[in-house]
Chain A
Amino acid sequence: MQAIRTEKITKKFGRLKAVDDVSVQVEEGEVFGLLGPNGAGKTTLISMLVTLKKPNSGNGTVNGFDIVKNPSEVRKSIGIVFQDSSVDDELTAYENLDIHAAMYGVPEKERKKRINEVIKLVELSDRMNDVVKTFSGGMRRRLEIARGLLHYPKILFLDEPTLGLDPQTRKHIWEYIERMKKEHKITVVLTTHYMDEADLLCDRIAIIDHGKIIALDTGEKLKDMLGGDVITVTSEHSSKLKSRLKGVKWVKEAKEHNGKLTIRVDKGERKIAEVVGIAKDNKIDIKAINLRRPTLDDVFLHFTGRTIREEEASGKERMRKRIASMRGRR
């Protein structure tokens, strides 16, 4: 049985299609990533799967339960860690976990045992009886992950699990996620706009933009899809260089953004010299040049003409513009 299956699921806010006709399957036991810039529709898709929002059209099942007709069963079988904190600040870690366990029907005798178990996993045992108000952002997130696991869900949803955390805490959280998958065979669905995170953790990655899934495969295959290597040139005249490279037959693709030229080629270690040669012949100054294997960001660039990193800074702004342009058209 598939852990999650959606068919042409759509959610609109006014005239904006936040999630647009998405059909996707998540296999049991896999770590599935939704990668995309802010405002791409990741959180909205998750919100529908966890029954917080109702789709305008289409349908979906989670653990075999219909997300519209049977939300209560869906909720019992999943754990959720939201993007924003959703713990009660004025309660202790233990009290937060206790309330959660009780509401999810964990029998009283077992609650204490399980609370100790999950709080140990996220290494907060020594802060168990402290009021959450005193916790750092990373500790809160760890507490929320512990809470999400408390009722032994079959699927754990993590919405931007490492957003705004320091590198060390991020690494810790990655470790928990891998351990959960290995030891508890939990299906994990996570959203992220960090490419390294998606690449490292996810068995399969869906790249999402403007509410649509534009590519879906394993990280390796997504990168192989582009093939070859990527040469990045930083120059004040990168557009000029781009036009010079247009007719060259070994150039598979050349895209310019933010003063950088990204060139996809085969056998990059040889072509890098040729690129430098062409630049020299045309009297184009190169500030920096490097060669690497394609990353997920290149995949994103290939499909959308933008990089996620550019989007990251202006995600909210972009969402606003999308909404504004919808309004303008009315």
Chain B
Amino acid sequence: MNNELTAVYFMWKREIIRFFRSKSRLIGSFGMPFFFLAIVGSGLGGAFNLPGMQGNYMGFIAPGIIGMVVLFGSIFSGVMVIMDRQFGFLKETMVAPVSRTSIVIGKAIGGATTAVIQGIIMIFIAMILGVNITVSAIPLAIAFMFFISVAFVLLGIAIASTMEDMHGFQLVMNLLVMPLFFLSGAIFPLSSAPDIIRYIGYTDPLTYAVEALRYLLIGYSEISLEVSAAVIGIFLLISGSLAVYLFNRIES
């Protein structure tokens, strides 16, 4: 048991070391969300008026962009399993005398830690850009970010476990991550979207993370915090079971 905890800790540590070592990747990962917030946020601001919400469009999308940063960071972290396979390190973990479940847990917590750090930095960027954020709610927002992030890393691991090489990587990014982001109500309110978009949006787990962040940080939401927490919890259980099951089946 002790050995398993050590393995979780070291898998976590590995993610952290790698995260802080690749500074260019870290800085690069803020490019897109920054421009989204600064340019789309202010550019569309004038043409956009939300009933029942004071403040501007930038304030509305800020939690959505924070959610996007967490989503991208998490999925990327999980899908890195493909890179580990490509560069051989996966083999080293596969033959270690620890359970693969511990490896998955360590990776998930490690990946989530790095994604949440990016999310926190994004909160500060939003504040600098003039978004009015409820500072006292930040700790609870971080907790929400962490759980949705763990769930997305696990989803990434689950998908990566079924892939042989890096070719699938782009596929995941275009066919999974982008729709997850656009359907989450991050940049427009789902309530005013056409029915079909709205219903699909409600099946997107990121919707609930964005709603929770919006409620906590901006004080506006269409879905209650309790419902969001419950949905994120269920999603975490599903993606976790899937990741453990699929990662255990890898034969290298």
Q: Do A and B bind each other?
A: yes
Q: Which residues of A contact B (CB under 8 A)?
A: 50-54, 72-73, 75-76, 80, 82, 84-91, 95, 98-100, 102-105, 131
CB nearest to A75 among chain B residues: B97
Give the docked Cα–Cα distance between A21 and B22 (Å): 48
Which chain A residues lie closer than 8 Å to B13 at the CB level? 99
Which single member of A52, A95, A98 contacts B95 (CB below 8 Å)? A52
At the interface with chain A, which of B40-48, B70-78, B84-92?
Answer: B84-92
Nearest 6 interchain pairs by C-beta: A86-B88, A75-B97, A103-B96, A76-B97, A86-B92, A86-B91
Q: Is the CB of A90 within 8 A of B21?
A: yes
CB nearest to A73 among chain B residues: B97
CB nearest to A151 among chain B residues: B97
Q: Is the CB of B6 within 8 A of A52?
A: no
Which single member of A75, A86, A90, A103 contacts B6 (CB below 8 Å)? A103
- Given A90-B21, A102-B6, A75 contacting B89 (CB threshold 8 A): no
14 chain-A/chain-B pairs, Cβ below 8 angstroms = A50-B95, A51-B95, A52-B94, A52-B251, A72-B97, A84-B91, A87-B88, A87-B89, A88-B18, A90-B22, A95-B14, A102-B7, A102-B10, A103-B6
Q: Is the CB of B98 within 8 A of A103?
A: yes
Q: Is the CB of A91 within 8 A of B18?
A: yes
Which single member of A51, A82, A90 contacts B18 (CB below 8 Å)? A90
* Main SS class of interface, A: loop
Q: Is the CB of B97 within 8 A of A105?
A: yes
- Given A84-B88, A86-B89, A99 contacting B97 (CB threshold 8 A): no
Give the docked Cα–Cα distance between A305 and B1 (Å): 54
Which chain A residues lie closer than 8 Å to B24 at the CB level? none
- Given A76-B97, A90-B21, A103-B96, A85 contacting B87 (CB threshold 8 A): yes
Q: Is the CB of A82 within 8 A of B21?
A: no
Which bracket fits the contact residues of B? 20 to 34
Which chain A residues lie closer than 8 Å to B10 at the CB level? 98-99, 102-103
Which single member of A84, A89, A90, A103 contacts B97 (CB below 8 Å)? A103
Give the docked Cα–Cα distance between A91 and B87 (Å): 13
Give the docked Cα–Cα distance between A99 and B13 (Å): 9
Which chain B residues lie closer than 8 Å to A90 at the CB level? 17-18, 21-22
> B252 contacts the other chain (Cβ, under 8 Å)?
yes
Q: Is the CB of A99 within 8 A of B91?
A: no
Give the docked Cα–Cα distance between A125 and B200 (Å): 57
Which chain B residues lie closer than 8 Å to A72 at the CB level? 97
Give the docked Cα–Cα distance between A238 and B97 (Å): 56
Within the complex, the shortest CB–CB distance from B217 to chain A, in Å, comes to: 33
Which chain A residues lie closer than 8 Å to B3 at the CB level? 103, 105
Which chain B residues lie closer than 8 Å to A50 at the CB level? 95
Q: Is the CB of B97 within 8 A of A104?
A: yes
| Residue in B87, B90, B97, B98 with the greatest tally of chain A CB atoms within 10 Å | B97
Q: Is the CB of B95 within 8 A of A100?
A: no
Give the docked Cα–Cα distance between A80 and B97 (Å): 12
Which single member of B6, B9, B14, B88 contacts A91 (CB below 8 Å)? B14
Which chain A residues lie closer than 8 Å to B96 at the CB level? 75, 100, 103-104
Q: Is the CB of B14 within 8 A of A88?
A: yes
Which chain B residues lie closer than 8 Å to A85 at the CB level? 87-88
Within the complex, the shortest CB–CB distance from A45 to chain B, in Å, comes to: 15
Give the docked Cα–Cα distance between A187 and B105 (Å): 34
Give the docked Cα–Cα distance between A95 and B11 (Å): 12
Known: A86-B92, A91-B17, A104-B96. 6 other contacts (CB 8 A): A52-B95, A54-B251, A76-B97, A82-B88, A82-B91, A131-B21
